Amino acid sequence: MRPTKTRKIIFIALFSAWLAGVLSFVLYQQMQVFIEFPINLLIVTFSLALTIAIWTLLARKRVIGPARTFTPIQSARTAVLALAGSHSGAILAGISIGVLVSYLMTPPTEANQDRIQILAGTALSALALTAVSVWLERICSVPDKRDDK
């Protein structure tokens, strides 16, 4: 498994932002329908980012520390968790930002202001999830060449 490249994460986020923004704008222009994001999404995304951040701190101590109690299978599982977290965080951040931009282009209403706040919080939480997941993946990466003596 290769480490996640930053440009791949950026591409995923930009593509999902473009797709969600266009879809949201077309739905509003054609049918006067807004895509609603529940506050539960913000809470779950923030909780997931916090949980992975705690796991990252615990894993860092076990991987880098003097005891090195992390087995290779635990490292691989953690790296896969980090890969999934970074990709899903990038997708969710892109969707949130795309819909947020389309909401900002519509006439302001009280309901839209609430949605904008939820979308901004969700986008920030998803970006935090992506950043923490990439950090966790970097911690669990294995060097390409080992010097066995």
pLDDT tens-digit profile, the chain (149 residues): 677 788 999 999 999 999 999 998 898 888 888 888 889 999 999 999 999 999 988 888 777 767 677 777 888 888 888 899 999 999 999 999 999 999 888 888 887 888 899 999 999 999 999 999 999 888 877 655 555 55
Is 38 part of any domain? yes
How many domains in the chain? 1
Is 62 part of any domain? yes
Is 82 part of any domain? yes
Is 148 part of any domain? no
Nearest Cα residue to 135 out of 64, 40, 44: 64
Full domain range(s) for residue 15: 6-140
Is 149 part of any domain? no
Nearest Cα residue to 101 out of 123, 131, 86: 123
Is 146 part of any domain? no
Is 28 part of any domain? yes
